[in-house]
Structure 1
Amino acid sequence: MLGHDIRAAISDILGGLALADLSVLDPTSRLQLQRVQSSAEQLVRLTDETLALVTGDDSPRADPPVQTSLGPFLDRIAARWHAHAGARGLGFCLDRADDLPTAIGTDPAALERILSNMIANAVKYSPVGEVRLRVHLGPQEALCLRVRDTGPGFSEAAMARLFDFAGRPEDSGQPGTGLGLHIVRDLAQRIRGQIQVANAAEGGAEVSLILPRRAWAPGIEAPSAAADLPDLGGCSVLVAEDNPTNRLLVQQMLETLGAEVTLVEDGEEAAEALADRRFDLVLVDIEMPRLSGIDVIRRLRAAEGDGPASPVLAITAFVLSANRDQIYDAGADGILAKPILSLDAFGEAIARVLTKRTAPLSGTTTGVPFDPVHLDRLLALAGPEDGRELLRRMREDFGTVKGGLAEGQARGDLALIRSRTHVLISLAGALGNVALQAEAEALNAAALTQDRATVAGLLPRVMQAVDALRTAIGGELDTRFAAEAAG
């Protein structure tokens, strides 16, 4: 509940800033508000990590691979730290190369924490001059982010204990415990990067984060369909949200996407609106007066019965796995955590929900039954040799799934069907085929409840989709590892 309240409060701050017209302000005031916005976004991410640490709720979530627009990300970093450095009488300079990628597949929360610690140290130890962040591509297209200061540099004693927990030498005379670089190193390892530290020849220290291409690039060359903002022209959307700021922010973003928006302020109004008509998309806040968002979703799904189901996106400040499981169990198709940090994140969440309800099992908008972003990232994580073996095993697993489903169909063995769909749910999710994943979940649930009519209706479609995926993975094996496959 504390995490929910923190996120809800920050959501109001960020929503208010998003709705404000900062262009009419003087440059100093605009810079300060941009700094507040950047810090609030970072506070959201730190809140999530703190909750996970305290509760032990660190289970992975079925989110798509991360894509971060590098230019806007660096602009936010510069806006935030220009103000911090200026308050100490220092300059801050962002120096970026012309050949940087437009997007990277790196977790922005971890990247921002790393840079924040690096820049904060540089600002702290520079009595005069400026702090410079240089971003460029190094050898073999490694992404290099270098922070240089005009301070005294690292002493030999400090250099020897640089990454230790609380590693600052006792006689250093500097404030703090030296925890920053210890955090930086751990975060860098999490995103498969390296930290390099040196004293510059002309004075000052230089701390660099080096991200090899395999760490920042997977899937970026072939973005998924969800990376493009959905066109909601002609779509009717119900928004149930009790907070006026969030309600207005969501309305503006939906209208930007072309939607026709109906607004309600509590759960009872939402239930009444859904009883009166069908909407193309429903956005429901979970914590609402009179009737909770979960109860609204349950009523909607009960009323729909076996008929067409409206896509439902739950918007919530509850982020723990237990909360998410409860929301999905009620019938939500997707969850978007508050605060909503960008139109891109909002559009991607809507695109995933719409895809889950409407996409054909046999393929995606790319013409193949998997998301290239997901596959590229899996192969990049595995490496060249293990990547070849990964594709082979996936092809074999899809063959095993299909064979088991066929045998279960022939024998009427619901336990076998459940066993194979359990595997299929993971496989389809790993490859980004959310439509097949949803059908596999439905088939698994039908087998569990002994609903043979539903099983009989779903099985042929699921088996056809599995066969298409197995064929496509075999094609990828032949294309990516042609010489080995031929042998």
Structure 2
Amino acid sequence: MVCRPDPDTAPEVTEMPGEQSDGPAVRGDGDAQSPRNRAAMLGHDMRAAIADILGGLALADLSSLDPHSRLQLQRVQSSAEQLARLTEETLALVVGDDSPRAEAPVLTSLGPFLDRIAARWRAHAEERGLGFVLDRADDLPAGIGTDPAALERILSNMIGNAMKYSPAGEVRLRVQMGPQEALCLRVRDTGPGFSDAAMARLFDYAGRPEESSQPGTGLGLHIVRDLAQRIRGQLHVANVAGAGAEVSLILPRRSWAPGVEAPAALSALPDLVGCNVLVAEDNPTNQLLVQQMLETLGATATLVEDGEAAAEALAAACFDLVLIDIEMPRLSGIDVIRRLRAAEGDGPATPVLAITAFVLSSNRDQIYAAGADGILAKPIMSLDSFGEAIARVRRKRPSPCTAAVPAGPFDRVHLDRLLALAGPEDGCELLTRMREDFGTVRIGIVQGAAAGDMALIRARTHVLIPLAGAVGNTALQADAEALNAAARADDRAAMGGLVPRVLDRVDAVCTALAQEFDIRFALEPAR
């Protein structure tokens, strides 16, 4: 499964004097002209512009175009998606924030990801008179848990370098499984290969040999190495007998299927048949894109164009899900969510997914504090990412329009899938480790609560959130998130009610897993 950002407390929304609030403040310091705030607002507008480009391309029918034109537009689309990710990371560096994409591995559908890479680089190869071949094995995993932006940057630098140094012939991307389920991505070219001088300075910053006839600074492989380390991959570089070079990225199973999360996360898109979804979005392109995605998932969409209309719709009807843009005229998304949560009181709450180009941690804190259950960053990259965001929100908060189904200590389908994929011997070890992890988390929460150690509680609940998700216990996962947020805010009153409930749920999971272990492993007859 994909881990959610930890909800946290945040300063109140600030407004410029005499102006109506149309979104979350970038910071709570009230200085809109500070370099940090100006950079954040510029980043917001850049993301909004890129979202329009991607939305328009997603809605366009490319099938009537000739192959060359279609290839070029697919290249534009792939490059725009990468530009959106780079914009987010650059903005995070400029304002001194952490990139939200670095928080947890993201489940990425491998086939469509490779198709996008191929579409982008076939066009580049065509311009240079080269061939580009995507060669993929038949036994690849359907999805991988990693940082897709980092992986795309790695492959872009590897393929770009290969094309740069290949005057003729082809560049080939081979994707296959290696020993011990390692995922291997190999880029081979037909150029002259690496010189001795280049090998001596391999991965150095600005490591291009002085005698090189090619333009550039030599940053490509340095970037590749840095990003490979970030996603726990390994790089292999070698000259090919005859001619050319091969650069390989090797992702051990632990890096593309981290922990126990990846097998459980390989699930289909959510089935929204019969669901009525409110979409509050003022941009016509984004409205149409979201509506088409929802209809693909089986939902019925009700569209409104501003915050006041959204608030009126929520007051008049019950919705299974709310998708809300944070920056809207008349009333901001933040204020709409606050009104909704105030009106719901202690009763059943509507799942809310915020869709926004404000993606820094301070913005996310404000959105979660207002009562959102999840955040999806603009531009929306794919139906997969859209569906996954909705699925996470619905797991966290079931619809108030349908009867809730009582949840057990764990989801048997989740556990069966995990143990089946692990095999008998590894399954025994996996279940043992899960029981130990739950026990360690419980001890830490008890100790943290007794000593008033907020850092310890935050650390243990940070582990508990994905652990509860791995066994499909959404109630425990939601309580762990709430306890994490309360510990961050040093809210002792909220913790007083949350700690006993979390411990009770952890105890129930531990008891159920112990019984499951006895049934599956401890009672097996000796061979």
TM-score scaled by structure 2? 0.79
Taking structure 1 as reference, are residues 153 and 474 closer, same or farther at Cα in structure 2, changes over 3 Å only? same
Structure 1, 17-26 or 91-100: larger mean CA deviation: 91-100
Contact 1:193 1:211 (8 Å CA) reproduced: yes
Contact 2:187 2:246 (8 Å CA) reproduced: yes
Q: After superposition, where does 1:181-196 map in structure 2 within 5 Å?
A: 181-196=221-236
Taking structure 1 as reference, are residues 439 and 144 closer, same or farther at Cα in structure 2, changes over 3 Å only? closer
Question: Which residue does 1:49 correspond to in 2?
Answer: 89
Question: Which residue does 1:176 correspond to in 2?
Answer: 216
Taking structure 1 as reference, are residues 236 and 365 closer, same or farther at Cα in structure 2, changes over 3 Å only? farther
CA distance in 2, matches of 1:133, 1:62: 26
1:224 to 265, 273, 284: 265
Deviation at 1:201, TM superposition (A): 1.1
- For the pair 1:26 / 2:26, whether they are aligned, the reply is no
Question: Which residue does 1:17 correspond to in 2?
Answer: 57
Taking structure 1 as reference, are residues 366 and 245 closer, same or farther at Cα in structure 2, changes over 3 Å only? farther
Question: Which residue does 2:10 correspond to in 1?
Answer: none
Question: Which residue does 2:367 correspond to in 1?
Answer: 327
State the secondary structure of the residue aligned to 1:23: coil
Contact 2:322 2:353 (8 Å CA) reproduced: yes
Counterpart of 2:74, as a letter, is Q
Structure 1, 245-254 or 387-396: larger mean CA deviation: 387-396
Counterpart of 1:257, as a letter, is L
Contact 2:89 2:99 (8 Å CA) reproduced: no
1:206 to 246, 268, 281: 246
Question: Which residue does 2:402 correspond to in 1?
Answer: none
- For the pair 1:395 / 2:433, whether they are aligned, the reply is no
1:426 to 450, 457, 462: 462
CA distance in 2, matches of 1:185, 1:352: 32
Unmatched segments (≥5 aa) in structure 1: 409-414, 483-487
Aligned residue pair count: 465
Deviation at 1:159, TM superposition (A): 1.0
Q: After superposition, where does 1:283-362 map in structure 2 within 5 Å?
A: 283-358=323-398, 360=406, 362=408
Contact 1:12 1:245 (8 Å CA) reproduced: yes
Contact 2:99 2:360 (8 Å CA) reproduced: no
Structure 1, 314-323 or 297-306: larger mean CA deviation: 297-306
Question: Which residue does 2:35 correspond to in 1?
Answer: none
Structure 1, 143-152 or 427-436: larger mean CA deviation: 427-436
RMSD, aligned α-carbons:
3.6
Deviation at 1:140, TM superposition (A): 3.0
Taking structure 1 as reference, are residues 325 and 31 closer, same or farther at Cα in structure 2, changes over 3 Å only? same
State the secondary structure of the residue aligned to 1:127: coil
Deviation at 1:274, TM superposition (A): 1.2
CA deviations 1:272-300 (Å, max 9, x no partner) are 11121221111110011111110111111
Contact 2:308 2:330 (8 Å CA) reproduced: yes
Deviation at 1:173, TM superposition (A): 2.5
- For the pair 1:268 / 2:329, whether they are aligned, the reply is no
CA deviations 1:75-95 (Å, max 9, x no partner) are 111111110011011111112
State the secondary structure of the residue aligned to 2:146: coil
CA distance in 1, matches of 2:173, 2:433: 40
Q: After superposition, where does 1:59-98 map in structure 2 within 5 Å?
A: 65-98=105-138
Contact 1:240 1:265 (8 Å CA) reproduced: yes
CA distance in 1, matches of 2:149, 2:382: 14
Using CA pairs below 8 Å that are at least 6 residues apart, which structure has the higher relative contact order? 2
CA deviations 1:53-74 (Å, max 9, x no partner) are 2222126679664222222221
CA distance in 1, matches of 2:411, 2:430: 28
Counterpart of 2:263, as a letter, is A
1:215 to 255, 258, 262: 255
Structure 1, 317-326 or 259-268: larger mean CA deviation: 259-268
Structure 1, 194-203 or 473-482: larger mean CA deviation: 473-482
Contact 1:297 1:332 (8 Å CA) reproduced: yes
CA distance in 2, matches of 1:363, 1:65: 25
State the secondary structure of the residue aligned to 1:350: helix
CA distance in 2, matches of 1:179, 1:312: 43
CA distance in 2, matches of 1:216, 1:423: 24
Contact 1:363 1:369 (8 Å CA) reproduced: no
Contact 2:100 2:359 (8 Å CA) reproduced: no
CA distance in 2, matches of 1:442, 1:163: 43
Counterpart of 2:367, as a letter, is I
- For the pair 1:2 / 2:42, whether they are aligned, the reply is yes
Deviation at 1:480, TM superposition (A): 11
Deviation at 1:134, TM superposition (A): 1.6
Contact 1:394 1:473 (8 Å CA) reproduced: no
Taking structure 1 as reference, are residues 404 and 49 closer, same or farther at Cα in structure 2, changes over 3 Å only? closer
Taking structure 1 as reference, are residues 310 and 391 closer, same or farther at Cα in structure 2, changes over 3 Å only? same
State the secondary structure of the residue aligned to 2:263: coil
Deviation at 1:47, TM superposition (A): 1.1
Contact 2:100 2:360 (8 Å CA) reproduced: no
2:145 to 105, 108, 114: 105
Deviation at 1:25, TM superposition (A): 1.3
CA distance in 1, matches of 2:47, 2:117: 22
Contact 1:421 1:441 (8 Å CA) reproduced: no
Unmatched segments (≥5 aa) in structure 2: 1-40, 399-404, 523-527
CA distance in 2, matches of 1:130, 1:214: 32
CA distance in 2, matches of 1:20, 1:310: 33
CA distance in 1, matches of 2:364, 2:140: 37
State the secondary structure of the residue aligned to 1:263: strand
- For the pair 1:133 / 2:173, whether they are aligned, the reply is yes
CA distance in 2, matches of 1:259, 1:178: 50
Deviation at 1:366, TM superposition (A): 3.8
Structure 1, 50-59 or 390-399: larger mean CA deviation: 390-399
CA distance in 1, matches of 2:286, 2:331: 18
Aligned-pair identity (%): 71
TM-score scaled by structure 1? 0.85
Contact 2:476 2:505 (8 Å CA) reproduced: yes
